[in-house]
Structures are given as structure tokens and as C-alpha cells.
Structure 1
Amino acid sequence: MLLESLNASLKVGDPSTAQGLCEEHLRLVPNDADAHRYLAQLCLVLGGQERAINLAVRATELTPDDPRTWSDLGRVHVLLRNLPEAIACFQKAVAVDPTYTDGWHNLGIALKQTGNHEQALDALKQALLIDPTRAETYLSLGNLLVEAEQLEDAIACYERAVAHDPHLARAHSRLGQELLQRGEPERAEALFRHTLSLDQNDAASWSDLARTLEDLGQAEAALSCYRNVLHRQPGHAVALGQYLALIKGDEGLAWAAQVETALDGTQRSPEAQALVGYGLAKFYDRRGRFSDAARAATRANAGRQQAAGRFHREALRTRVDGIVETYQTDFFAERRSFGIGTDQPVFIVGLPRSGTTLVEQILAAHPLMHGAGELPDLARLAGQSVAGQDIAPWQAAYQLTDEMTSRLLAHEYLRALRRNAPPDCPRISDKQPLNFFHLAFAALLFPNARVIHCRRDAKDNALSIWMENFNPDQRYATDFADLAFFRSQYERLMAHWHTALPLTIHDVQYEDVVADLEGQARRLMSFLGAPWDDRCLNFHQQERAVQTPSRWQVRQPIYTKSVGRWKHYAPHLPELEKAFARSDHSA
């Protein structure tokens, strides 16, 4: 009866009345452990932290054999950030009753918050062994597996969460996010729409849906979603930045003026400053306001650098030194029997914004080919191969010492590569540009694979990277001098691969492609052993999803306005020309 009355008050948003009901009940029944438990949670909501602890402790004293009292005391400690005490309480709850699923679930969550991921996984799995229908536990387990980069298992957990509780909006949202990362925007779109059907005020899901629609080439629908976010949260950094980057005409002028004022102030975090600044830079660039675009991008990169930290050049130099010294011609000759014989994978590599998306779009227009997008799986498998060994992922190929393991890894990669491809497709491309760091690993898995290396004018390439909202981990992208150094190391590594790597490498210059599309496309087809098909010239007419910053450019016919683009910015960004003025950027 008491619990029903409390729930009725809470349902209408009245915790004070619920607290009064609890207190009145305890005056009549002072040793009611359940009432102590309920009142402890209410006191936390209303700000009575010390009293909440005292009430929760009293509940355990009244019924020490009730796992609920220990679990609720643990929850109080969690909310007060007393995690060691919380873990002890949850452990007591499951010791009192090993079948108490809430205790195992709460223990797993608390262990995760302290960084004990292995124990957290064990606790959550124990909860699901007892009750395999707990959607919240599947959701929490999925989140842990994402952090462990076990993405397929994580997606399976989210799918179970959705199946067991179709009304759990967060499960639909998380599943959508991971499917989007895996290159399945159509499925992700349906999940985000379902989430919004459950909660139309969920700004994060509106933003996720907008991003998905951008990947699908639906600009107006994406803009509508961003407007929905900004209507609910006018300062939402992701939505505002993407809206400004995408909007055409005069509609965004009012927002741009407001953003200028906000960026000059201090009310935004450095990361929010970056997100909005990159969008504003694109807004001005599209309108030919290059001075304003340079100023906005400068502030964006300053914010990103402050939030993410500076690039460490020596770490990159050491990495490239190690790769060059380790992977010589004889290394591959000694392992010529490793991997599997298929020549299906095509690795498209190069610096970001060097034309990799354009090349993949040309290939994907051919009926015998498929573009898988930017897959994380080669780097992921390299990392997992050396997990727990305190060595860097670039050493994965060196640590690969037997043929059977190389073949198992190759088949695992192929599952990811073929996931959305037509059956029996002869060629499938993976256009993760930075896979040039992992080509030794690729060569041991697929000794017959092909590599397409995309190049672009150094200054145009650097400017395009610098003005783009890349992953914060790409710290080299925020400073022209760092970009010049990164390029010099990349060029050194690619020169080494040209001489040492057993895989065939085909170089493609972006400027040559835009100047002679058919000639360069025919060269690509010849390199891949494919018959010519005129559809390759109409690559922009494809309806396939494109999940890179170049998503809008490759939906247009070939154009040359990006060639020499840096010259528009030369008067406003003298540091760009200075950084690339020297022939040697290794200092």
C-alpha cells in the first residue's frame, strides 16, 4: 500500500509528498525496513545525503538477511560517489542471496565505474544467467563490450535488450549508434526513429538521426532534424555545428551571427567551441568568405587542441622507425605461406581528405565491386592480437608467428568486409585511410590483396584536414606544422612499403582524377583486373550511403574547385605556406 502511494506521487513529479508519506508511515511503524529504504532514496533526490545514508544503514540493521536493503544502501553510496563502499554492499547483497539479479547488475555497474572491467563483465553475465530477459543488463553489458572493442558481441547484447524491452529507448539508441558505426545507416535510421517515437524530446536521438540522414544523402531531412535539436537545445554544439556546415542560402545567417558572439565569449567548453567553429568555418567557406572561415577554423582548432591535447611528434617518429626497421623484404619472404589466397580485399589508403572517398565511389559504381567504407576492423584485429602484451598494434604482424592464426584472423576480417556486400562480389574496398600503418598486418592475412594509395597536393590536403571536424584522437590535424610533420612521416612509410611490401600498390593523384576522370578510372579498373564499365563515370548518381566528411562532394559530378583551394586562404593563414615551405618536415 505504501509503495503504491509513493509511486503515485512520484508519477506526477511530487517527491516531497512521497517523502511526507514515508515519514508519516515510519511514525506509525518505526521498524519498517522497506519504508527506511524508500525514504533513503527520496532523501537523496531532495538533497538530504547524510540522512539518506543513515536511513539505508538502518534498513540493513532491521533486515540484514534481505538483499534489497544491502543493494539499496549500495545505490545510495553510488549516488554519493562512495564506490568502494557501494561495491561492498552489492557483494553483501549477492552473498545473502546469490540469485538476487539486481545485486549482480548493480555490482557490475559499480565495478565498471571503478575500472574493474573484467569483474564487471562477470557480474553482469551472472545477472543474465539468473534472468536472461533483463534488458537493462544487456544494455550495460553491451556498453562494456564496446569499451573492450568487442563490437559484434556488443551489438548482439543491444539487440537482446531491444527484443526483451521494446520500450527501452536507450537500447534502441545505442544499437543504432553501433550499427551506424558498422556501416548500416538504414537499420540505424529505423532505430533512431523508434527511439523518438518513445521520446520525441530526446535531443541526442534527433542529432543521431540527422547524422544518419546525412550519410544517406538526405540533406533536407537532416537539416529538419538539426532544427528539432536546436529548438529544444539552442546551444547544442553538435547540432549547431552540423547545421551550419550543411545549410544553404540565407537561413543560417542569424545563427552564424549568434555563434560568432558565443565563440568570442567564454561560456562554451573547448570541445563545444571546436564543434561549432568547424561548422561555422564551412558555412563561410561555402559563401567565399575565406577570411571569416579561416578565423572560425582557427578558433575551432584551438578549442580542439585545448580539449584533446597536443600532438606528440616523437611518438609518431618512433612508430614509423619501428615499422620500417621491422618489416623488410625478408620478413615477408619468410612468411609467404601466411594468410589466405583471396584477392577480394582492396585497401584504399592515404592521408584523410586525399581523395579516398572519391576513389571508392568510382569503384563502387562498378557492378563487380562494393565499397565497404571506412572499416575499423584491420586496426581492431591488430590491436586485439597484441592485447595484454604491452606492445603497440603496429607490432601485430611481427607477433603473428603461425599460419593457422593468420588464417583465422583473415576470415574474421572478411566477415566484416563482406557484411553488407552482394554475395560473390569479386572486389570489396576498405577505405580506412590510416590503414597505411597496418599494411604489414594486411599482407600477412591477404598476400594477394591490392592497395590503392591516394595522394593530393600537400597544401590543399593539409587545409582540408585542418578545417574538418575529425576524431579528437587525430591530434596532428589541429596545427599546420604538425600536419607537415605527419605528412613527412606518412610519405616515408609509403616509400618504404613501395619497396618492401609484397602487395601491389597503385598510386592515384587526386588532381589527375579530377582532370581526367575516365583515364584515371580506366587505370583503376585495369589495376583491379575488371572490365571497363561506363557507370564508373557516373559515380555521383549512386544511392549508397557515404559515411565520411566527403559525403556531399562525392554526390556531385567531378569538379576542380578543390584544386589549388589553399590559395584562397594564403593571405589569411600564412602559417600554412610556412609549414610546407621546407622540403624536409622532419624537424
Structure 2
Amino acid sequence: MKRKPSKAGGRGKMRSSAGNPGLQRAVELFHAGRVAEAAPLVDAAVARNPKDPDALRIKALIILRSGLMLEAQKILDRAHKIDPRNPMMPLDQAVIHKLGGRYPEMIDSCREALKRMPGSRRAEAMLAQAYEGGGMTDQAVRFIEETIAKRGLDAEMGETYANVLELSGRREDALVVVDRLLESSATQPPVRRRLLLHRGRILEKLGRFAESMESFEAGHAVFSVVFDPDEWDRRLDSIIEATDPMSLPEELSEAAGSEVPVFIASLPRSGTSLVERIIGVHPAAHGAGETGLIGDVLRAARPTIGTEPYQGIRDAMPDALEAIRGDYLGRQAGLFGHSSRIVNKHLQNWQFLPIIAACFPKSHVIRIDRAPADVGISIFGQNLPYERMPWATRLDWIGRMIRSHRRFSDAMKDRIPNPWLDLNYSDLVTEPEPVIRSLIEFLGLDWDDRCLEPHRSEQGRGGRRYMPTLSIHQVRQPISRGSLDRAEAFGDLMAPLHRGLAGDA
């Protein structure tokens, strides 16, 4: 569909980028979702002029996509100090609020942006996202429909519109919106991919399973990816072979003996968000989401440990390890404050288990056991980052990864000294209380009844805030058995996943 001409500042583009074609192109790529292509152009712009606030802003937003929140905040602060009147400042802050799960603050920032840039499509779209993220579904629908009546439907607003229609139970209407957006030649490939995957999820809920699978496959076909499961397994084998059985040292420094970090070491879509919220609602705990702290700290330590972290940590001198521990704990406190337990559910935690054990041998590790086929179809139907997780784009590769995760984590369980809990997802959602009581006891925390109602964790004064994940709307519902046996309805369409699980893919 053709877009109406936007008002002044309608797209929220940065002012000085017009005189810098490279930066202007980077802005276009970034907002089209082509972040990997935008990054080198932005780096070049910053290298040419380290005080260009617009280049700094986009650099910070790119870094935010990688989960480096502290570093991104510092760069944004520099940009805002250089150009405090930049009308994009409130939108920058809205992005930070979104990543921190602070939706009321995100709403305020978006409203301020609209005061500075009336009619800005980006500000309007982000305000709609803030309403959606904050659970204000009815308000989101009203705002979006009023906005669309003025300027028509486009992908920026349309994606959120489809989301909130589905959340409102209007699945057929959501499907109409998605199909209209897919018909438009203006819909960019990253958006097209997200829409096709969303379309598949809607069709699944409507009971149209063959069409659902076709839509999932079409979404993953938008971009070509390469993944070699055999090479991946060889890499894991080398880590296993190089990891000798560890025992808990008799003497530990305060940092090494810290039990504050808690690591969920499971694949995506296995129940990690639910478990994080169950723990995070406890008054002595905090849920940190998919924080990339381990990767941040390892990158910062490269001058000491090199670029191969497993070997570097294995060979590191005690003072180097202590510095890494201190860096992790310091960053953790800076981002999430001080709690007795802080839960990190990053999707690579299971791969980092040897490093976690070397740095924090008393930290608690939780592995969630969910039916492989249910995990597989849930992964396949989601917009996971295909650049970092190419294996998530084919059912047979997903099956191989589930198999690899189990084999690797089994090997680590036998080698590391950390307290370890295997939590059965089916038991958790079928009989929550005994499983949750065992979980809280495992973490060494006193019992608190609020852990039985994680869906209420954001409500009321003092409500908790969580980094947004793909499961945000699911975990706001009471614990239920609704997601059990999800894959059965797809029948023989799941055959590629089962081949992968058997190691035949």
C-alpha cells in the first residue's frame, strides 16, 4: 500500500545524516532490520567524527541489539550531551526502557517524542509497541486504529496491530492484517520474515496446521543461511574433551564463592522465561532475562585470555580469573541491583558451562527438560536471530541442536561442581507447587507464596520489570498445561525434526 506523505519529522530521521550518505544509508539499513550491514557504515562515520551525535546514536542502538546495555547507555549519554535538543532523544530513551521492560516509562518517552515530532510514524509505532508490551491491549487497538484511519496501514504499525488483535482474540482479523502487509511490495525482507512466522502461529491457533507449517517454512526461506551440524558437534566434542572434571576448591575468594548468579542452561522455548519469573518474583531474587553479561565480560578480557575463551579461561592465572569474576559481578549489580539471586537465562549459557564453573563454581545451574518435539515446533515458529542461530531455520537442524544440547549438558553435569537442578517442564505446569517449592529450596531461598503466581509479578506498586522476550505475553498468564503436546497436531509434518533428534539429519 502507498504511504501518505509524512509530516515534518514524520519518519524521525536524524538531521545531519542527510549530509553524510554513508550514515544515511546506515540509518535506512538499521530501520529495515539489516543491522549487520549498518554496523560497519556507522563505525566508519564515528571514526571520521567521534563527536557526531547522530552517528553515536545509531551506534548505541546497534550495540543495544547485542544486549550491551551499559556500553550503549554510555554512548547515548555522550550523544545527548553533545546535542541535548535532538528531537530523537525521547525515542532513544524509549528503546532503553523497552529493553528494561519499563513500559510505563516507555509510554512517557514516546509521548514526549510525539510532542517534539508531531506525526512521527516511528514515534507512533513505538507508542503502540509500548501499549502492547505493557499489556494495555485495548488501548493499543484504539490508538492503532485511530492512527491507521489518518494515514493508512504500513508495516511499522501493522505488525503491532496484528499482535494486539491476536492478543484480543481476533485471530481472523489479525490474519487479514498480516496478509495485507505481505501483499505490499514495500514490506522489507526482515519484516516479511516476521510476518510469515506470525502468520504461521495464527494459523496454528486456528487449527490450520498444514498451512501453518507452510508459512513457517516460507518465513525461514526469506534469508539463506548455512549451518553444518556435524561441524557444530565436532566443536562441542573438542570442548568436552578439553574440560577435565572439576571439584569445588577448599578455599574460594568472595567473588568465586558467590551464589548470586543463577544460570538457566537450556534451549530457547523450553520454559526459561516461566522459570525466570517464578524465581524473579521472590523478594530476594531478580530476573535478568537473556542478558549477555558472560559474552560482554569475555570480550573485555580478550587482552588477558585471548579470543578463544574456553582455552583462555582454562589457562588463566588466578588473578585474571578474579578480575573476570569482579567484572561480571560489577556489571550485574550495575544493571540489576543487589539481590541474593540474579537469574541469567541467556540462550548460550549451556555452551558457557565450563566457563561458568571456572568463574563461579557455587552458582546454581538449572536445566529445563521439555518434550523435544514441543521445543522444536516452538523454536521453528519464532523469529529467532537467524544470523546467530541459523540452526533454528530448519526442523532437522533444530532436532540436531536439541540432541547436541542434551549430550553436551549431560557431559558438563558430570564435570562441573556447581549445584545442578534438572526441572521437568511437564511436571511444573501440571503440578506447579511441589516443583516450585523444590526449585526455591534448591536456590537456598525461604519460601514465598508469590512464587506460585509469577503472572502477577508485574502488577501493583513495586511490580517487577523483566527484559522482554518472545514469551512475554505467555508468562503473563497463569501457569497452565496449554502448551503441552503442541507438536502432536502437526503429525507427519514433524518428521524432519525426529530425524534430527535421531542424529540422521
| Structures share fold, TM-score greater than 0.5 | yes
Shift of 1:586: 5.9
Tell me the distance in 1 between the aligned counterparts of 2:443 and 2:66: 36
1:440 paired with 2:360, answer: no
The 2-side partners of 1:181 and 1:313 are apart by: 32
Match of 1:346 among 229, 243, 262: 262
| In 2: Cα distance, 1:414 partner to 1:328 partner | 25
In the alignment, does 2:389 pair up with 1:470?
Answer: no
Q: Which residue of 1 aligns with 2:471?
A: 550
TM-score normalized by the length of structure 2: 0.80
* Residue number in structure 2 paired with 1:562: 483
Unaligned runs of 5+ in 2: 1-6, 10-15, 26-37, 459-463
Shift of 1:414: 2.2
SS in 2 for 1:437: coil
Match of 2:49 in 1: 124
Cα 1:460–1:557, aligned 2, differ >3 Å: closer, same or farther?
Answer: same
Which protein is richer in helix relative to its size? 1
Question: Match of 1:498, as an amino acid?
Answer: K
Could you report, residue by residue, the CA deviation over 1:8-57 in whole angstroms, capped at 9, with x for unpaired residues? xxx999xxxxxxxxxxxxxxxxxxxxxxxxxxxxxxxxxxxxxxxxxxxx
**What's 1:318 paired with?**
234
Query: What residue number does 1:503 align with?
Result: 418
Change (3 A) 1:161 1:189: farther
8 Å Cα contact 2:297-2:324 kept in structure 1: yes
* CA RMSD between the two structures: 3.9
For the residue of structure 2 that corresponds to 1:310, the secondary structure is coil
**Partner residue in 2 for 1:177:** 95
The question of whether the paired residues in 2 share the 8 Å contact of 1:336 and 1:447 is answered with: no
Counterpart mapping for 1:175-324 below 5 A: 175-181=93-99, 184-224=102-142, 227=145, 236-237=154-155, 239-248=157-166, 253-254=172-173, 256-257=175-176, 259-260=178-179, 263=182, 268-303=187-222, 305-306=223-224, 309-324=225-240
Distance 1:396 1:315 in 2: 22
Range moving further from structure 2, 441-450 or 513-522:
441-450
In 1, Cα distance between the equivalents of 2:364 and 2:403? 24
Partner of 1:35: none
Per-residue CA distance 1:357-387 (angstroms, 9 max, x = gap): 1111111222221112221111222234337
* Equivalent in the alignment of 1:383: 299
Describe the shift of the 1:298–1:419 C-alpha distance in structure 2 as closer, same or farther (beyond 3 A). same
Instruction: Give CA deviations for 1:256-303 in whole Å, capped at 9, x if unaligned.
Output: 236436647877444332111122223333344434433332322222
Please state how far the C-alpha of 1:578 moved relative to its aligned partner: 4.2
Higher mean displacement: 426-435 or 187-196:
187-196
Task: Kindly report which structure 2 residues correspond to 1:412-451, keeping only aligned pairs within 5 A, or say none.
Answer: 412-419=327-334, 421=336, 423=338, 425-451=339-365
Number of the residue aligned with 1:29: none
User: Higher Cα Rg: structure 1 or 2?
Assistant: 1
Judged with a 3 Å threshold, the aligned counterparts in structure 2 of structure 1 residues 320 and 80 are, in CA distance, closer, same or farther, namely closer
Change (3 A) 1:458 1:296: same
SS at match of 1:428: strand
Return 272-281 or 405-414, whichever deviates more. 405-414
| Inter-partner Cα distance in structure 2 for 1:12 and 1:173 | 16
The Cα shift of 1:449 comes to 0.7
Aligned sequence identity (%):
23
Contact 1:356 1:433 survives alignment (8 Å) = no
* CA displacement, residues 196-239 of structure 1 (integer Å, 9 cap, x when unaligned): 22223333333334434444333334445655775677564454
- The code of the aligned residue for 2:435 comes to Q
- What amino acid is aligned across from residue 218 of structure 1 in structure 2? M
In 1, the alpha carbon distance for the partners of 2:192 and 2:62 equals 29
Judge conservation of contact 1:229–1:236 (CA < 8 Å) in 2. no
- Alpha-carbon offset, residue 466 of structure 1: 0.8
Partner AA of 1:192 in structure 2: C
2:282 to 347, 362, 366: 366
1: distance between equivalents of 2:304 and 2:130? 35
In the alignment of these two chains, the number of paired residues is: 473
CA distance in structure 1 between the aligned counterparts of 2:154 and 2:131, rounded to whole angstroms = 18
Q: Which has the higher contact order (CA 8 A, sep 6+)?
A: 2
Q: Which residue identity lines up with residue 282 of structure 1 in the other structure?
A: R
1:401-416 paired onto structure 2 within 5 Å? 401-416=316-331
Matched letter for residue 483 of structure 1: I
Per mean C-alpha deviation after superposition, the further-off stretch among 366-375 and 282-291 is: 282-291
Q: Look up the match of 2:494.
A: 576
Contact residue 244 and residue 415 of structure 2 kept, 8 A: yes
Contact 1:350 1:356 in 2 (8 A): yes
Name stretches of at least 5 consecutive residues in structure 1 with no aligned partner.
1-10, 14-70, 82-111, 128-133
Q: TM-score, normalised by structure 1?
A: 0.70
* Alignment-mate amino acid for residue 167 of structure 1: R
Distance 1:197 1:147 in 2: 26
Cα distance between partner residues in 2 of 1:185 and 1:261: 29
Q: Counterpart in 1 of 2:438?
A: 523
Contact 1:176–1:188 (Cα < 8 Å) also in 2 = yes
Structure 2 distance, partners of 1:200, 1:395, is 54
- Measure the CA separation in 1 of the matches of 2:22 and 2:297: 35
Contact 2:165/2:171, CA 8 A, preserved across alignment: yes
